[in-house]
C-alpha cells in the first residue's frame, strides 16, 4: 500500500469513529492545491538536467499552511500529498493555528554539488514563490534539506517580495535572533523527547495503542473540525 492510500485509510477509520458525515469526510481528503513544476538547472559540467518538484497545500482552515520540503530520489506526488494531509492533522492534534502542506523534489542531494543544490532550490522557489507566504504557506526543512536550503529559499523569495524572514522556519542560526537560537536548533529533538515523556507512565509501561496512529486520534481530528466548521481558529 502506498503512502497516500495508507493515509486515506487511516483517516477514514478515524472518520468512522467520529461518525462524520460522508460529505465532510470527502472534503477533508481533497487538498486545497497541488502544484507540480519542472526545475531545469545547469550542472557544474555545463550540461542541463531537470528535476520534478511538488508542493501540496492540503488545508488552510485553521491558519497558514505549514510543512517541510524534502529532497529525495523517491519523492513523488502521492507521498507529498499524504505528508501534506498528515501535517493538517499534526497541527490540529497540538492545537496550533496552522494548516498542512508539504513539498519535495525528486533528486539525490548527495550526488549534487553545493552550487547545484543552490541553483535547484532557487529555481524551485521561483516556480512556487507566488503560492507561499507568511500568511499562506510556510516551508520548513525535511529529509535531504537543512538550514542552508531554507536560507536559499528565503533569499530567493525576498527578491520577489522583499525581505521576509518569516517565510521559512529552520533557518541557519545566524539568520535568527540570539534568543531564538537554542529553540530553533534543537526543536525536532525536543519534540521527540516531549512525546516520549508524555507517553511513559509512572509504572514504566508505555500505554499507546499499537494500531492507532496518533495523528488520527479522535481528539486531534475533533480539534481540526472545531476549527474548520465552528469558526474556532485557536489563536
Q: Which positions are catalytic? A: 102
CB atoms near residue 133 (< 10 Å)? 16
Per DSSP, 219 falls in state H
Q: Which residues pair with 56 in a beta bridge?
A: 34, 102
Decide if 165 contacts 133 (C-beta within 8 A): no
In sequence order, which ranges of the chain are alpha helices (DSSP H)? 3-17, 22-29, 77-93, 114-128, 147-161, 181-185, 187-199, 218-230
Lookup: cell for 94: 497540538
Contacts of 122 (CB under 8 A, 6+ apart): 152, 155, 156
Task: Using DSSP, state whether 70 is helix, strand or coil.
Answer: strand
Phi, psi (5° rounding) for residue 21? -60, 145
d(CA 197, CA 189): 12
Amino acid at each position: 500500500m502506498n503512502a497516500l492510500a495508507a493515509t486515506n485509510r487511516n483517516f477514514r477509520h478515524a472518520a468512522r469513529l467520529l461518525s462524520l458525515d460522508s460529505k465532510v469526510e470527502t472534503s477533508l481528503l481533497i487538498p486545497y492545491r497541488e502544484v507540480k513544476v519542472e526545475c531545469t538547472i545547469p550542472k557544474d559540467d555545463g550540461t542541463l538536467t531537470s528535476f520534478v518538484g511538488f508542493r501540496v497545500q492540503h488545508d488552510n482552515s485553521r491558519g497558514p499552511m505549514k510543512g517541510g520540503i524534502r529532497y529525495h530520489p523517491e519523492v513523488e506526488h502521492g507521498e507529498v500529498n499524504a505528508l501534506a494531509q498528515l501535517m493538517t492533522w499534526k497541527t490540529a492534534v497540538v492545537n496550533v493555528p496552522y494548516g498542512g502542506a508539504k513539498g519535495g523534489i525528486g533528486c539525490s542531494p548527495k550526488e549534487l554539488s553545493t552550487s547545484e543544490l543552490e541553483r535547484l532550490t532557487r529555481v524551485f522557489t521561483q516556480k512556487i514563490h507566488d503560492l507561499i507566504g507568511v500568511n499562506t504557506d510556510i516551508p520548513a526543512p525535511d529529509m535531504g534539506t537543512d538550514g542552508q536550503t531554507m536560507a536559499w529559499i528565503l533569499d530567493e523569495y525576498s527578491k520577489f517580495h522583499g525581505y521576509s524572514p518569516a517565510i521559512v522556519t529552520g533557518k541557519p542560526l545566524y539568520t535568527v535572533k540570539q534568543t531564538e537560537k537554542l529553540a530553533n536548533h534543537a526543536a525536532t529533538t525536543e519534540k521527540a523527547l516531549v512525546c516520549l515523556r508524555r507517553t511513559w507512565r509512572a509504572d514504566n509501561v508505555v500505554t499507546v495503542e499499537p494500531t492507532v496512529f496518533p495523528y488520527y486520534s479522535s481528539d486531534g481530528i475533533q480539534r481540526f473540525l472545531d476549527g474548520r466548521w465552528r469558526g474556532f481558529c485557536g489563536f
